[in-house]
Structure 1
Amino acid sequence: MTTARETAAVPGIGGPAVPAPGGPAVPDPARPGPAVPRPPVAPERAAPAARPRAAGYRTDLDGLRGVAIALVVVFHIWMGRVSGGVDVFLVLAGFFFTASLLRRAESGGGISIRERVAGLARRLLPALVLVLAVVAGYVVLTQPYTQWTEIAAQTQASLLYYQNWYLAFSWADYLAADPSVSPLQHLWSMSLQGQFYLAALLGIAALAWSCRALGRPAATRPVVAFVLALLTAASFVYAARGVGLHQGWNYYDSFARAWELLAGALVAVVLPGLNLPRVARVLLALAGAVLVAACGWVVNGSAMFPGPAALIPVGATIALILAGQNLRTAELPLPNRLLAAPVAVRLGEMAYALYLWHWPLLIFVLGHLGDAKIGLRAGLAVLGVSLVLAYLTHRFVEEPLRAPAAARTPKAEYGRRAVAALGVTVLAVTVGAQVFTSLSPARPMQDLDALRYPGAEALVGGAPTPDAPMRPSVLEAGADNAYPTRDGCIADWDTREVITCAYGDPDAERTIAVVGNSHSEHWVPALDILGRENGVRIAVYLKMGCPLTVAEETSYKGQSIPDCRDWSLEVIDRLGVDRPDWVFTTGTRPKPLTGDETPDDYVQVWSRLSEHGLNIIAMRDTPWLRRDGVRYRAIDCLADKGDRHSCGMRRVDAFDPANPADGPAASFPNVFTLDLTDAVCEPDICPVVIGNTLVYHDEHHLTASYSRSLAPELGRRLGPILGWW
Structure 2
Amino acid sequence: MSVQTTTDSTLGIAHRESRPAPVHRHDLDGLRGLAIGLVVVYHVWFGRVSGGVDIFLALSGFFFVGSLLRTAESRASLDPRPVVRRVARRLLPPLVLVLAAAVVFTLLAQPATLWFDTARQTVASLLFLQNWHLAETASDYLAADPSVSPLQHLWSISVQGQFYLAAVAVVFTLAWFQRSRGRSIRRPLAALLAVLAAVSLVYATTSALPQTWLYYDSGARMWELLAGGLLACVAHRVRVPRQVGVALAVVALAIIFGCGMLLEGRSQFPGPWALVPVGAALALIVSGAHAPTGAAADPVTRMLTSTPLLRLGTVAYSLYLWHWPLLIGYLVIRHRTTPGLLGGAAVIAASLVLAELTTRLVETPIRRASGGGRRRTALVTAITVLAATVATSTVTWSVYVDHKTTKSAQHGELDPALFPGAAALTSGAVVTPAREQPSRLVAYADVPDAAPDGCMTQPGQVDALTCTYGDPDAERSIALIGGSHAEHWLPALDVLARDHPFRIEVFVKVGCPAKLPIGDDGWVGECEEWTLNVLAALSAKPVDFVVSTSTRPRDDGPGDQTPENYVALWRELADRGVPFVGIRDTPWLSHEGVKYRAADCLSARGGDADTCGIDRGQVLAPVDPAREAAEQLPSVHLLDLSDAVCGGDRCRVVEGNVLIYRDADHLTATYVRTMAPELGRQLGPATGWW
Whether contact under 8 Å (1:172, 1:492) holds in the other structure is: no
Superposed displacement of residue 71, structure 1: 0.8
What residue is the counterpart of 1:398 in the other structure? Answer: 363
- The 8 Å contact of residues 320 and 336 in structure 1, kept in 2 or not, is answered as no
Give 2:215's aligned residue: 251
Question: How far 1:235 sits from its partner (Å)?
Answer: 1.0
Partner Cα separation in structure 2 for residue 462 and residue 310 of structure 1: 58
Amino acid in structure 2 at the alignment position of 1:262: L
Which of 428, 437, 445 is equivalent to 1:471?
437
Equivalent residue, structure 1, for 2:322: 357
Output the CA distance in 2 between the equivalents of 1:103 and 1:620. Answer: 66
Q: SS of the counterpart of 2:451?
A: helix
Equivalent position amino acid for 1:231 in 2: L
- Determine the C-alpha separation between the residues in 2 that align with 1:602 and 1:60: 55
How many residues are treated as equivalent by the alignment? Answer: 674
Classify 1:130/1:489 alpha carbon distance in 2 versus 1 (closer, same or farther; 3 Å).
Answer: same
How far, CA to CA, are the matches of 1:221 and 1:454 in structure 2? 71
* Structure 2: distance between partners of 1:638 and 1:163: 28
- For 1:96 and 1:430, how far apart are their aligned partners in 2? 34
Identify which of 78, 86, 92 aligns with 2:59: 92
The answer to whether the aligner puts 1:686 opposite 2:686 as a matched pair is: no
Alpha-carbon distance in 1 for matches of 2:264, 2:177: 43
Summarize deviations over 1:453-484 as a string: whole Å, max 9, x none: 22212112222222222122213423322233
Q: Does 1:81 align with 2:61?
A: no
**Structure-2 change in CA distance of 1:283 and 1:699 (3 Å):** same
**1:22 and 2:6 matched:** no
Once residues 631 and 145 of structure 1 are traced to their aligned partners in structure 2, the CA distance between those partners, rounded to angstroms, is 18
CA contact (8 A) 1:170 1:179 kept: no
Which residue of the partner structure matches residue 414 of structure 1? 378
Residue identity opposite 1:304 in structure 2: Q
2:100 paired residue number: 133
Partner of 1:5: none
Partner of 2:521: none
Map of 2:604 onto structure 1: 640
CA gap of 1:717–1:298, structure 2 versus 1, over 3 A, is same
**What is the DSSP-based 3-state SS (H/G/I as helix, E as strand, rest coil) of the residue aligned with 1:171?**
coil
* Distance in 2, Cα, partners of 1:295 & 1:194: 26
**1:412 is matched by which residue type in structure 2?**
R
Q: How far is 1:619 from its partner?
A: 1.2
Q: Percent identity?
A: 48
Report how far residue 299 of structure 1 moved. Answer: 0.4
Does the Cα contact within 8 Å between 1:172 and 1:494 map onto a contact in 2? no
Deviation for aligned residue 1:294: 0.7
Equivalent of 1:674 in 639, 661, 675: 639
1:371·1:629 contact (CA, 8 Å) conserved in 2? no
Q: Give the letter for the 1:520 counterpart.
A: A
Alignment deviations for residues 494-536 of structure 1 (CA, whole Å, 9 cap, x no partner): 8765444444443332222211222112112222222222333
Q: Is the 8 A contact 1:354 1:387 kept in 2?
A: yes
1:204 maps onto 2:171 in alignment: yes
1:431 to 395, 402, 405: 395
Q: Structure 1 residues 138 and 637, CA, compared in 2 at 3 Å: closer, same or farther?
A: same
User: What SS does the aligned partner of 1:27 have?
Assistant: coil
Q: Which residue of 2 aligns with 1:46?
A: none
What are the ranges of 5 or more consecutive residues in structure 1 without an aligned counterpart? Answer: 1-20, 38-52, 553-560
Shift of residue 669, structure 1, vs aligned partner: 2.4
C-alpha distance in 2 between matches for 1:179 and 1:256: 29
**For 2:206 and 2:468, how far apart are their aligned partners in 1?**
34
The counterpart of 1:309, out of the listed 273, 277, 288, is 273
Contact kept? 2:6, 2:22, Cα under 8 Å: no
Task: After TM superposition, give the deviation of residue 599 of structure 1 in Å.
Answer: 2.6
Partner of 1:156: 123
Correspondences of 1:93-112 after superposition (within 5 Å): 93-112=60-79
Query: For residues 241 and 563 of structure 1, what CA distance do their matches in structure 2 show?
Result: 16
What is the RMSD of the two structures over their aligned residues, measured on CA atoms?
A: 2.6
Q: Distance in 2 between matches of 1:145 and 1:136?
A: 12
Q: Is the 8 A contact 2:544 2:579 kept in 1?
A: yes
CA distance in 2, matches of 1:644, 1:221: 66
SS in 2 for 1:584: strand
1:84/1:301 contact within 8 Å kept: yes
Letter in 2 for 1:328: P
Deviation of 1:141 (Å): 1.9
Give the CA deviation at 1:492. 4.9
Task: Tell me how far apart the structure 2 counterparts of residues 105 and 638 of structure 1 sit (CA, whole Å).
Answer: 58
Using the TM superposition, name which of 322-331 and 483-492 deviates more. Answer: 483-492
Indicate whether 1:374 and 2:354 are aligned: no
Equivalent residue for 1:609? 573
Matched with 1:17 is none
The answer to whether the 8 Å contact 1:324/1:332 transfers is: no
* Corresponding position of 2:241: 277
Q: Check the 8 A contact 1:625/1:631 in 2, yes or no.
A: yes
Deviation at 1:115, TM superposition (A): 0.8
Is 1:598 aligned with 2:565? Answer: no
Inter-partner Cα distance in structure 2 for 1:540 and 1:429: 41
In the TM superposition, residue 684 of structure 1 has moved relative to its aligned partner by: 2.5
2:232 is aligned, of 244, 248, 268, to 268
Taking structure 2 as the reference length, the TM-score comes to 0.92
Amino acid at match of 1:575: L
Residue 506 of structure 1 aligns to a residue in which SS? coil
State whether structure 2 residue 146 is matched by structure 1 residue 166.
no
Alpha-carbon distance between aligned partners in 2 of 1:491 and 1:309, rounded to the nearest angstrom: 25
3-state secondary structure, aligned to 1:455:
coil
Amino acid at match of 1:452: L
| 2:531 corresponds to which of 537, 544, 568 | 568
Equivalent residue number for residue 587 of structure 2? 623
**Residue in structure 2 matched with residue 324 of structure 1 by the alignment:** 288
487-496 or 669-678, larger mean C-alpha shift: 487-496
SS of match in other structure, 1:538: strand
Residues in 1 aligned to 2:487 and 2:15: alpha-carbon distance in whole angstroms? 58
| Amino acid of the structure 2 residue aligned with 1:532 | R
Instruction: Give how far 1:540 is off.
Output: 2.1
Query: What's the offset of the Cα at 1:489?
Result: 4.2
Give yes or no for contact 1:323–1:333 (8 Å, CA) kept in 2: no
1:546 aligns with 2:512: yes
User: Could you say what secondary structure the match of 2:440 adopts?
Assistant: coil
